[in-house]
Amino acid sequence: MSEISVLLVGDAERSEFREASATLDALGHVTRVANTALAETALRDGRLVPEVIVLAQAYPAQFSHASVDRLRRLAPLARILGMMGSWCEGEMRTGKPWPAALRIYWHQWTARCTQQFDFMRRDECSAWGLPITATEEEQLLMAAERPIEPRQGLIALFTRRYEMEDWLSAACRARRYSTVWLRPPRPARIDGATAAIFDGSDCRGDELAALKRLATTLGPLPGIEAVPVIALLDFPRIEDQQRALSAGAAALMSKPTRVDDLFWQLDQVVANTG
């Protein structure tokens, strides 16, 4: 597979960006600069021709529209991605987000970007290859055209809400997984689960205790030491991720989530326990 040239702008060593930044190193050749002025210099000298420009934005308006526009003019063929920090979640409602740029929050990054970079490295059609005017609906329609790869195994769904269980169960069945609903506050004990999905909010108090119990009481399959649990939380902060992982979750994802992202992550945690 070919290597992708990436220009990463901003402080990628912030705690909420570290995992996302690390995925770039595994997928392409990354040039890191601290700010857009240095990025402009790197682009002007002609030695750097990035396919993707990633702006690690920790807070709204960290990178001005004018600076982003200058980068776009210097690298007109590059796709501009926003690696967005937690403080940027309200920018779509009350701020002025950059036009013609994809926004991907830190907690969405690993699943979303690994898939798209893999498509690009294999010279396959990627949602990032669509015109910059493509809507999110058009990106989702493109993703829906990809064939579903069948899986096998039992997925435990830990949620209080029927609507969530119904959605997750239907998505799992479309991939040939079987499911069982573990409904709080008294979920049944089961054996033989391949993985579990924990539907939470902020992973505090009783919810944190429930996640710990789930991670330690699911009966594993033969040859697997522990059943991996994916925790779904509402707009998580980095401290929410740390609590979830310390409680025994194998991975954390945000709600709302895309089905393709969820099952990419499920494939990863299952593969890591096999």
Write out pLDDT tens, residues 132-176.
Answer: 778 878 888 887 777 778 888 999 999 999 999 999 999 999 999
Pick the CATH number of 4-144 from 3.40.50.300, 3.40.605.10, 3.40.50.2300, 3.30.360.10: 3.40.50.2300
What is the residue-averaged pLDDT of the chain? 89
Burial class of residue 198 (count of CB atoms within 10 Å of its CB; 0-12, 13-18, 19+): buried
pLDDT score at 70 = 96
* Percent of the residues in the chain that have a pLDDT greater than 70, as a whole number: 95
pLDDT in tens, 44-96: 988 899 999 999 999 999 999 999 999 999 999 999 999 999 999 888 887 78
DSSP class of residue 87 equals G
Pick the CATH number of 154-273 from 3.40.190.170, 3.40.50.2300, 3.40.50.720, 3.30.300.130: 3.40.50.2300
Please, where in the chain does CATH 3.40.50.2300 lie? Answer: 4-144, 154-273
Burial class of residue 3 (count of CB atoms within 10 Å of its CB; 0-12, 13-18, 19+): exposed
Q: Is the pTM of this model over 0.85?
A: yes
**Helix, strand, coil % in the chain, rounded to nearest 5:** 40, 20, 40
270 Cβ neighbours under 8 A, 6+ residues apart: 153, 194, 195, 228
Residue from 236, 266, 237 nearest 250 by CA = 266
